[in-house]
Amino acid sequence: METAAAWIPLAMSDTEAPAADADARLMLEFQAGDLVAFELLFSRHSRAIVNFAYRFVRNREVAEELAQEVFIKVYDAGRNYRAEAKFTTWLYRIATNVCLNEIRRPQFRAPHQSLDTPASDDPDDRPPEIEDTARPSPEKQLERRGLRDLLKRALDALPEKQRVAFILNKYQELSYAETAEVMRTSEKAVKSLIHRAKEALAERLAALVPELGLK
């Protein structure tokens, strides 16, 4: 877990100066020795970071372990923190490095599945009981087919950068600019990564769920 992250450095950029970032203020208070400020940051962001990690590892327990690791790194990096970038940008950069390091490990802790393997036994992954309607919504179409699991695996099959860009922008709802800031790349590159990710996902899922009309 301590291996150096590959392509996303932890250093912050100076392209943004969010003086009004409340999280950045809390981080500065923590830097001055206020542990309550750090706990507040944890309670504010732990859910988002657990879910971010979950998109990579698809296992709640591992995702929670990774989220804790992210906040340990935040704790350690506290004294070097400078409020030059938005706090969440910095946080997601650390989280991205932690998650990528995890899935790159040969002994990756979460079980990998291909699109051909049966659906997960995890109760969280099971589609809920649904009512049948004449004109089902996309959500119900997926649930009826029991294919939510396929969606997860299609995402897992994306190349690393496309996956990071797609998760940050579509799941964590960061803007293109924020996603670019986290990934230390340009907005144009992020748009391109997301476009390719969408194409790949549509390609994979179109054949499996024709009702979605992805093609």
Partner 1 sequence: MNGRLAGEEARTVRLHLAACSSCAAALAPADRVELLPALDPDIEPSPDLGARFRTRLQEHREQRDARRPWWTVLAWPLPRQLAAAAALAAFLAFGLYVGLKRENTPATAPGASEITIAENLPLLQDLKVIENLDLLEDFDAIENLSVQ
Contacts with partner 1 by CB under 8 A lie at 31-33, 39, 42-43, 46-47, 50-51, 54, 60, 63-64, 67-68, 71-72, 75-76, 79, 124, 135-139, 142, 148, 151-152, 155, 169-171, 173-176, 178, 191, 194, 198-199, 201-202, 205, 212-215
Q: How is residue 24 written in tokens?
A: 């950045």
Q: Judged by CB, which is closer to partner 1: 24, or 155?
A: 155
Alpha-carbon gap, residue 39 to 143, rounded angstroms: 38
Q: Judged by CB, which is closer to partner 1: 157, or 202?
A: 202
Q: How is residue 180 written in tokens?
A: 């670019």
Q: Judged by CB, which is closer to partner 1: 106, or 215?
A: 215
Q: In the block, which residue shows the tokens 């051909």?
A: 116
The answer to whether the beta carbons of residues 175 and 166 sit under 8 Å apart is no
3-state secondary structure of 156: helix
> Least distance from C-beta 50 to partner 1, angstroms?
5
Q: Judged by CB, which is closer to partner 1: 6, or 206?
A: 206
* CB-CB neighbours of 16 under 10 Å: 15
Q: How many helices (H) and strands (E) does the chain have?
A: 9, 0
Phi, psi of 148 (to 5 degrees): -60, -35
Q: Judged by CB, which is closer to partner 1: 3, or 43?
A: 43
> Least distance from C-beta 172 to partner 1, angstroms?
9
The secondary structure of 63-100, three-state, reads: HHHHHHHHHHHHHHHHHHCCCCCCHHHHHHHHHHHHHH
> Least distance from C-beta 213 to partner 1, angstroms?
6
> Least distance from C-beta 68 to partner 1, angstroms?
5
> Least distance from C-beta 73 to partner 1, angstroms?
10
